[in-house]
Amino acid sequence: MNGTVELSLSSICGARLHHAIGEVLLSQQSRETAADISTVAIRVVGDGVHHFVGVGLSYPNHIDVVGSVGDYAFCGADNVEVTIDGDAGEFAAHSLRSGQVVIKGSVTDSLGSMAVGGLVAVYGTAGVRTGICLNGADVFVRGNVGAEAGYCMQQGTLIIGGNAGEKLGRGLRGGTIYLRGDVVSVSEDIEEQRLREPDRLKLGLLLLKAGIKTPSGKEFRVFRRRLDS
């Protein structure tokens, strides 16, 4: 480990965070020519809630955001390892391509929308339309989620550790929803299926990856696209 670099979030929202990290890593490399800059950890300290933090970010370094972030946090991020020590707004990890975004607080609506790869983990609760148009990524929410979770999902995995709201899986075309708690109503587009061994294995691996230490997976129910729909 080559230490930690600290950045202030006050002026580096949007694509500027990508460039700011690039500059910091470049100066780090020029100081220690033999250093492997991919192991430099980045600590981003917030002063208020900023929108569009980390849009298009693409650095493999561990990035720790201290404080909450606003809408579209880490939208389109690729090959990242991010931990947010707070809450996030709408469309967190939208279009995530690869890597891992862990949000220790709660998020509002449309978590992981259109994400094509990687893992988004939320330790708190999530708002409506969690995993909307999910297109290959894995989304985990430890607490409850709002209505229409998995709306128009194409592929990928949505794991809900708490309860789900109305119309779970509305418009779902592909992918899998795992639910541990209760659900207000299930949409006609999906049906509950028997939890099989591959499901348990997949759940266990994803829960471990998300940092959950009781990955038995037995208490979960599994929902997929209704076969006759």
Partner 1 sequence: MTNYESKLRRFRPRPLYERLNADLSLADETFDSSCVLKGASGESSLSWPSPMFLRQGVDSSCSEQMAALLGRLRRELGVSTYRSHDDSSTPDSRSLAAGIEIVPVYVNEYFQPATFHHAEQIEVQFFQGISDPNSHASASQARLTKTHWIPRMPRDISSIEQLSRRVDMLRQSSDQQGVLVGAAIAACSIYDDVRYIIDAGFDYVTLLTHITGELLTSQSLELHPVDSAISTATRAIQDSGRKGFSLLVTTPPARPSQAIDWFSAGVRAIGIDAMLQQFRPANTSQSGDSFGGFMGGYGRPSASRFEWIYDATEDFIEGLISECRFVGLDSLQQLDAS
Give the strand pairing for 221-225 and 176-179: antiparallel
CB of 173 to partner 1, least distance (A): 8
Residue selected from 76, 127, 156, 169 as contacting partner 1 according to rule CB under 8 A: 76
- Binding marks (x or -) toward partner 1, 153..182, rule CB under 8 A? -x----------------------------
Q: Give the Cα separation of 228 and 166 in Å (integer).
A: 22
Q: If you search the block for the tokens 């809630």, which residue do you land on?
A: 49
Q: Which residues pair with 82 in a beta bridge?
A: 63, 101
Residue 116 touching partner 1 (CB under 8 A)? yes
Pair of tokens at residue 209 = 């990856």
CB of 201 to partner 1, least distance (A): 27
Segment interacting with partner 1 (CB under 8 A) among 29-37, 109-117, 138-146, 199-207: 109-117
Residue selected from 58, 83, 98, 163 as contacting partner 1 according to rule CB under 8 A: 58
Residue 90 touching partner 1 (CB under 8 A)? yes
Residue 2 touching partner 1 (CB under 8 A)? no
Q: What is the layout of strands, in order, in the sheet containing 190-193?
A: 4-8, 41-45, 62-66, 80-85, 99-103, 119-122, 135-141, 155-160, 176-179, 221-225, 190-193
Residue 92's φ and ψ, nearest 5 degrees, are -65, 140
Q: Do 177 and 190 meet the contact criterion of CB atoms below 8 Å apart?
A: yes
Number of helices (H), then strands (E), belonging to the chain: the values are: 2, 11
Q: Which of residues 32-51 bind partner 1 (CB under 8 A)?
A: 51
Report the interface residues with partner 1, using CB under 8 A.
13-16, 18-19, 51-52, 55-56, 58, 71-72, 75-76, 78, 90-91, 94-95, 97, 110, 113-116, 129, 132-133, 135, 152, 154
